Chain A
Amino acid sequence: ETGVTQTPRHLVMGMTNKKSLKCEQHLGHNAMYWYKQSAKKPLELMFVYNFKEQTENNSVPSRFSPECPNSSHLFLHLHTLQPEDSALYLCASSPVAGGLENIQYFGAGTRLSVL
């Protein structure tokens, strides 16, 4: 148990659906991250939030919309996805963003399949 909980663990959606991924951390951290993990590719950083403010958007398509209502919760709203968006979506948290030494703690991910 890493202290970072993601729900749902598995999600199947059609290209016209709207769904949301949820991440919650119980570590008292102030930075939260979304990563995409596709087969045969390194982890790709998508978004970074620091004290609820988005500090990084790594050229992510607008069909992915993040939301961070407080430092403990992070959402990823999905709309009109493509089959190539099928992947494992990982959430992470760390004390703050921008610290070289920061250890990021990860959730177990949401395995997304887009049909």
Chain B
Amino acid sequence: AQKVTQAQTEISVVEKEDVTLDCVYETRDTTYYLFWYKQPPSGELVFLIRRNSFDEQNEISGRYSWNFQKSTSSFNFTITASQVVDSAVYFCALSEWETSGSRLTFGEGTQLTVNP
């Protein structure tokens, strides 16, 4: 069955530190998509990135970067030079067809606190 595990429940760092949020997924499908969302205290989930299972290239967007490794079923998210505004809950999610008809399966989230 599909599953997304975010083992880090809470992470606390000091501003300007780099931080990596881990995401491990389980799926039997060969075609799937992975997502990261950010949920700030205001509540809405903000889409950050989508990656398909055939594209293992790492991606960088400003201070954000993502490392997708199919060999370890991981899709980790790194924030470089963290800022207080990065404080939020971050969710990793999986979309697959064969098993769940493209329903999004979310991990339990990682609460990131960036202290000044």
Contact = CB atoms under 8 A, between A and B. Distances in A.
Asked if A pairs with B, the answer is yes
Given A90-B45, A106-B44, A45 B109 contact: no
Contacts of A2: 44, 46
Contacts of A56: 103
A66 interface: no
B101 A103 contact: no
Interface residues of B, number: 27
A107 B104 CA distance: 16
A2 to B, nearest CB: 6
B contacts with A: majority SS: strand
Interface string B82-107: 00000000010001110001111111
Contact of B33 (A90, A100, A105, A108): A100
Contacts of B102: 97-100, 102
Nearest to A56: B103
Interface of A: 2, 4, 9, 40-43, 45, 56, 88, 90, 92, 97-109, 111
List the 7 shortest-distance A-B pairs measured between CB atoms, nearest first: A106-B45, A108-B44, A109-B43, A108-B43, A43-B106, A42-B106, A100-B102
